[in-house]
Amino acid sequence: MSVIEVRGLRKDYGANKAVDGIDLSIAQGEIFALLGPNGAGKTTCVEILEGFRKRDSGDVTVLGMDPEVSGASARDFRNRIGIVLQSTSDAGDLTVSETIGHFSGYYSKPRDPQEVINAVGLSEKKDALIRSLSGGQRRRLDVGLGIIGSPELLFLDEPTTGFDPEARRSFWALIRELQNSGSTILLTTHYLDEAEALADRVAVINRGKIIETSTPTNLGGRATSLARVQWEENGIMREELSAQPTAIVKRLSQQFTGEIPKLAVVRPTLEDIYIEMIGEKSGTAE
């Protein structure tokens, strides 16, 4: 069952084609990552899906509704989605509990505020002022605000920017828990390891067009890419590309006595494939 269906989506800013004929389909319960350089069209595309920006043309359905709805239909739409922006500016003089409780009043069927506080790992900070929270704790509060309305669809915009490695992995665990509870998640991120760790599928967008949509493992032919075998011989680093690296390692093991000096077998990372796909060209406006 599709949660998001997009066909022929277009948005221009003068001569700049920010979104240039995008087709997209996101299934229920999926974590879907939208990848692309700055100015590629990610933000414009996501804001159209959220209902914050009008499209020029194309068909867009989000949770069975047109995100450009107004009136009572718009309120129903807002009740069903959650949004975690890249940066927020909530009142620092409120506590975590006060903030979550306040936002719960915006929804017709909110989750229990204390349950949400527990879910995002802020139980010990429920009476702390927002301004006293660390960056990772502040981001968890952002997610709490995003899920307080029991969203069927959650938008996450660069959710771990500025996180240290430990905080990022803790946040990833939280996102997986949200998926396990039934939420569909649309994620934008510049961290390719984050996309690989979380996403069921990824789409690469550049200059307003989607280059490819696939799983992180298969994107850009990654699964069938040649492996790079590297080793040291007579003080010189050598390497070979092969679809059968085991055969090279077997040959080298017969050539050397004991360990093969500085042996490494490397396959392309998601970042390698992504950089190759987008090249050095990018768009000019989001």
Question: pLDDT digits over 33-64, tens only?
Answer: 999 998 899 989 999 999 999 999 999 999 99
Q: Do 152 and 50 share a structural domain?
A: yes
Q: Looking at the structure, do residues 69 and 148 belong to the same domain, yes or no?
A: yes
Question: Residues 6 or more apart from 257 whose CB is under 8 A from it?
Answer: none
Range of the domain at 232: 226-267
Number of domain units in the chain: 2
Q: Is 275 within the bounds of a domain?
A: no
Has residue 279 been placed in a domain? no
Residues 200 and 262 in one domain: no
* Residue 57 sits in the same domain as residue 177: yes
Q: Based on the fold, state whether residues 207 and 237 are members of the same structural domain.
A: no
> How far is 140 from 78, CA to CA, in rounded Å?
21
Q: Is 195 helix (H, G, I), strand (E, B) or coil?
A: helix
Number of H helices, E strands in the chain: 9, 12
* pLDDT for res 87: 63
Residue 278 lies in a domain: no
| Pairing status of strand 184-188 against strand 31-35 | parallel
Query: How far, in Å, CA of 35 to CA of 193, rounded?
Result: 12
Judge if 177 and 258 occupy the same domain. no
Same domain membership, residue 149 and residue 41: yes
What pLDDT score was predicted for residue 285?
A: 41
Tokens 């590297």 sit at which residue?
230
- Same domain? For 97 and 53 the reply is yes
Q: What is the pLDDT of residue 88?
A: 61
The last residue of a domain, from among 165, 187, 220: 220
Look at residue 66 in the predicted model and tell me its pLDDT.
Answer: 94
Q: Quick check: 89 pLDDT over 70? A: no
Asked whether residue 252 is domain-assigned, the answer is yes
Q: Note whether residue 183 is domain-resident.
A: yes
List the CATH number of the domain containing 75. Answer: 3.40.50.300
**pLDDT band, very low/low/confident/very high, at 286 (cuts 50, 70, 90):** very low
163-208 pLDDT per residue, tens? 778 778 888 888 898 899 888 999 998 889 999 999 999 999 999 9
Whether 65 and 152 map to the same domain: the answer is yes
Helix (H) or strand (E) holding 174: helix 165-180
In the prediction, which pLDDT does 53 show? 92
> Residue 198: inside a domain, yes or no?
yes
Three-state secondary structure of 99-130: HHHHHHCCCCCCCCHHHHHHHCCCHHHCCCEH
In a domain, 56, yes or no: yes
Predicted TM-score of the model (pTM):
0.82
Residues whose CB is less than 8 angstroms from the CB of residue 131 and which lie 6 or more positions away in sequence, other chains included? 92, 93
The answer to whether residue 274 is domain-embedded is no
Which pLDDT score, from 0 to 100, does residue 263 have?
A: 93
Question: How far apart (Å, rounded) are the C-alpha atoms in residues 49 and 51?
Answer: 5
Residues 178 and 257 in one domain: no
Query: Are residues 206 and 230 located together in one domain of the fold?
Result: no
> Contact 144/117 with Cβ under 8 angstroms?
yes
